[in-house]
């Protein structure tokens, strides 16, 4: 079941990785049979690390959005509890206790968000995925370091470019 448009951008409570998609649709690849060897090589060498980095980035982005949404909703709930407490003239211990517990939890979430771990993981993973995506198309175009060299040199250059990014996202 698909999510309504209004909810599509909301973070998921439980992360579910999406199915990896090819960078070029099969019907478009079929239009260039002379590149089939290049496509096969890229599918084998470049796409697995690309999909890993892309998945890491999407998961970290979801975690960051979830934190931010929790802060917004929790802050609103704490404010409403304070308004209700004030409108009742104060002295309702249960409301005051609930507000204090909620504010404490929100403080912990805010400190965690301030550390920025999920945001940093997202930015690192996205940068690495986009660099690999770029390498994919530069390789296909036989441009840059892949221009005017034999196939063996192109493959070595591609492997070196992939290895350069082959660090865990949290190590970058």
- 38-66, pLDDT tens digit by residue? 999 999 999 999 999 999 999 999 998 89
pLDDT band at 170 (very low <50, low <70, confident <90, very high): very low
Q: What pLDDT, on the 0 to 100 scale, is given for residue 132?
A: 95
Contact 144, 50 (CB under 8 A): no
- Cα distance between residue 75 and residue 85, in whole Å: 15
**Model confidence at 108: pLDDT above 50:** yes
Q: Which residue has the tokens 């609930």?
A: 98
- Cα distance between residue 39 and residue 44, in whole Å: 9
Q: For a pLDDT cut of 90, what percent of the chain falls above it?
A: 65
- Cα distance between residue 120 and residue 130, in whole Å: 15
Q: What pLDDT, on the 0 to 100 scale, is given for residue 171?
A: 47
User: Which residue in 128, 119, 140, 156 sits closest to 34, CA to CA?
Assistant: 140
Average pLDDT of span 67-86: 92
State the chain's mean pLDDT as an integer.
89
- Cα distance between residue 98 and residue 149, in whole Å: 69
Q: What pLDDT, on the 0 to 100 scale, is given for residue 153?
A: 94
Entry pTM: 0.78
């Amino acid at each position: 079941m698909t999510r309504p448009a209004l909810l599509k951008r909301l973070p998921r409570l439980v992360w579910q990785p999406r199915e990896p998609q090819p960078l070029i649709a099969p019907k478009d690849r079929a239009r260039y049979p002379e590149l089939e060897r290049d496509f096969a090589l890229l599918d084998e060498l470049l796409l697995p690390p690309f999909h890993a980095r892309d998945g890491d980035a999407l998961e970290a982005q979801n975690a960051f959005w979830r934190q931010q949404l929790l802060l917004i909703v929790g802050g609103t709930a704490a404010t409403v509890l304070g308004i209700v407490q004030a409108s009742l003239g104060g002295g309702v211990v249960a409301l005051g206790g609930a507000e204090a517990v909620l504010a404490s939890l929100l403080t912990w979430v805010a400190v965690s968000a301030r550390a920025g771990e999920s945001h940093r993981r997202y930015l690192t993973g996205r940068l690495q995925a986009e660099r690999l995506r770029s390498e994919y198309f530069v390789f296909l175009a036989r441009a840059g370091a892949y221009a005017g060299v034999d196939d063996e040199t192109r493959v070595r250059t591609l492997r070196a470019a992939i290895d350069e990014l082959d660090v865990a996202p949290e190590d970058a």
